[in-house]
Amino acid sequence: MMNRYPIVGVMGSHENEWEEYADPVGDLLARRGFNLLTGAGGGVMTTVARSFTLVEERKGVSIGILPAVDYKGQKLDKEEYPNPHIEIPMITPLSAKAQSDAMPFSRNLVNVMTSKALIVLPGSHGTKTEVSLGIHYDKPMILFGPDDAFDKFPEEPLRASDISQVSQFLDDVFGEA
């Protein structure tokens, strides 16, 4: 019988790696036996997946949800998508980002709906859209990073500045491992 490990989505900037936050999250998720889901691109997505896949004898896999085209509407750059740490790439026929929060037909919706819980690192419009979708669909969620990085984000989600708080969030959502 196949074991099914919960999927935890990690959302964040496609430009900035936020290593001080993404590295410990990837390591924590791998050691706790989760599957990791990201948008499969650069920045936070690459860093968290790299950290996750470096853990030897982990149970989960690194899943990446790829858009059909890049942010400019062009064919995906094979160097950028999927990043080299994605073990299961899933290509969606959807655009790279939602055009508005009211019409979220993008991989952001797939990211949120597939994840059992969300860990959100600093990011811009796409990350804010994922937070809004997470709130709308009542997904357990925590924002992890410096407070000022989330100034323009909704106030509802939990906030954390230390990896121990993220670990406690996972305990609260999934039970202690």
Q: Where are the beta strands (DSSP E) in the chain?
A: 7-11, 35-38, 62-66, 88-91, 117-120, 141-144, 158-160
Percent with pLDDT over 90 in the chain: 72
Percent with pLDDT over 70 in the chain: 85
Question: In sequence order, what are the beta bridge partners of 36?
Answer: 8, 62
Of 16-20, 106-110, 146-150, 160-164, least confident by mean pLDDT is 106-110
CATH of domain 7-174: 3.40.50.450
Q: What is the pTM of this model?
A: 0.91
- Mean residue pLDDT of the chain comes to 89
**Who has greater pLDDT, 3 or 94?**
3
What whole-number distance in Å separates Cα of residue 86 and Cα of residue 100?
Answer: 27
Q: What is the pLDDT of residue 157?
A: 92
Amino acid identity for residue 11 in this structure? M
pLDDT digits 0-9 by tens, 88-131: 999 887 654 555 544 456 778 899 999 999 999 999 988 998 99
What whole-number distance in Å separates Cα of residue 143 and Cα of residue 11?
Answer: 9
Domain spans of the chain, in order of start: 7-174
Q: Is the pLDDT of residue 162 over 80?
A: yes
pLDDT digits 0-9 by tens, 48-72: 999 999 999 999 999 999 877 666 6
